[in-house]
Each structure stands twice: as structure tokens, then as C-alpha cells.
Amino acid sequence: MILILLGPPGAGKGTQAKLLSTELGIPHISTGDMFRDHKARGTEIGKQVQAIMDAGGLVTDDITNAMVKERLSRPDVAPGFILDGYPRTVVQAEYLDGLLRSLGRSIDRALSYEVAEELVVERISGRRSCPRCGAVYHVSANPPKRAGYCDRDDAELVQREDDKPENVRKRMQEYGTKTEPLKRYYRDRGELAEVEGVGTPEGILAATKKVLGR
Ligand code: AMP
Ligand code: ZN
């Protein structure tokens, strides 16, 4: 099964992608995580994308597409995969179609998580993550046992640079102008399914499985 997860920043795509990955036994591919990993390792790509990412802008289509192409050449994607945060522009969506066609594959569903803008801002502004293991928390909705520290390794939690209010505004803008048009793109092809992204992670997972007929 090949799934694409759409939705504004803070819609809970990452959380659902992880749950679905476990449930379906297929890899979770997050271009945001891949870029953050490049940044942390200080690779050439990491250096190229650092400033634009921190400011909440989108990385160029060329860099992003090349990274995804490489990822989809690995053997673990054979049973299917979940794309979280890609595609984010029509150019990327068209590129992905061509790439999948060349591999003799096609997407099964583009799931769009629908969440009101106020809620999204609330979710993002409370998000904290562990710089050591990547665990993600929320100050009120999913707090760590000891405020400010990771449950797993006790590292001090941080707020992502792009989760800071001024950068969140930029991300919402990018979403509205460049990514939201993808809903139309997938709807026209009969591949879009909208899921109400409000409630507990488990509740949203149940709604997702229903849409997938599982
Ligand atoms: P995310 O964790 O999905 O919100 O991604 C974090 C940041 O990585 C985004 O704000 C962009 O700067 C960059 N990024 C992730 N995926 C893409 C993509 N498909 N196209 C362009 N930039 C991306
Ligand atoms: Zn940790």
C-alpha cells in the first residue's frame, strides 16, 4: 500500500504516519525528518537547506525530489510506504507520479487531515522535541513525565526553530499557497480521502483505517 499524507503543519500527520507504519508494517518516509537528519549531520544537503527550513520556507523541488528518488530506490519500500510531508507542491506531485510510473507502481490513497487553523497553531506552539532521540511531546496534550525533559533519555526538550510563532506563520502561508492545491490534484484523480484530524491519536487512526477499508 502506498499512502500520501496531506494536511497543514500540526495536523498530526507525523503521529498518524508512525501509527500506520506499525499497523501496516511499511516504512514511514518523512522528508522533514530526512532534512532534519541532514542538518544534524551537517551534510552538503543539510547546509543547503538549513536557513530556508528554519525560516519555515519550502526546500527547492529539485533537492527534495532527488532525495525522495534515492529513498524509494531502497529495498524496504517493496511492500509499500507512507509519505509524510511529501509531495508539498504540484511539481513534486507530478514528479512522484512519473517516478512511481517508472517503477510500475502507483499511489493507493492521498489522506488529507483536516484541522481548523486555530487548533493547528495551538498544537504547534506547544510542541517540544528531544534533540537526542527525536521523541515528540506537547506541553499540555502529551507532556513528558518531568516537564521539559525526555522520558526516554532525560535530555532537555527543545522547540524546533520552525515551530516558533513567526516561522509557523510562514509555514501556514506556504501550505495554503503551494500544498493545499494538491487536494484538488488528488481529488480530480479520485485518490483523495479527507479525514477529520481532531481527537485522540487512536481515534484518528480508527477514522483513517475506516477510510482505507481496514
Ligand atoms: P515537516 O517536518 O514535514 O513540517 O518539514 C519541516 C521542513 O522541512 C519544512 O518546513 C520544509 O522546510 C522542509 N520540507 C519537508 N518536506 C518538504 C517538501 N516535500 N518540500 C519542500 N520542503 C520540505
Ligand atoms: Zn529523548
CATH label, 2-116+179-211, candidates 3.40.50.300, 3.40.640.10, 3.30.110.40, 3.40.50.2300: 3.40.50.300
Ligand that comes closest to the CA of residue 68: 1
As annotated, the active-site residues are 13, 88, 127, 160, 171
What is the tens place of the pLDDT at every residue in 106-142?
999 999 999 988 888 888 989 999 989 989 999 998 9
Where do the structural domains in the chain lie, given as residue ranges?
Answer: 2-116+179-211
* Predicted TM-score (pTM) of this structure: 0.90
- Distance between CA atoms of 42 and 71, rounded to whole angstroms? 19
Residue type, 9: P
Q: 111 and 210 in contact (C-beta within 8 Å)? A: no
**Sign of the CA dihedral running 184, 188, 189, 193:** positive
Query: In 3D, which of 78, 103, 100, 76 has the Cα closest to residue 87?
Result: 100
What is the tens place of the pLDDT at every residue in 75-116?
999 999 999 999 999 999 999 999 999 999 999 999 999 998
Ligand 1 atom at minimal distance to the Cα of residue 30 = 3
Ligand 1 atom at minimal distance to the Cα of residue 86 = 19
Q: Which are the contacts of 60, defined by CB distance < 8 A and separation ≥ 6?
A: none
Place of cell 551537517: 42
Ligand that comes closest to the CA of residue 144: 2
Place of cell 528518488: 69
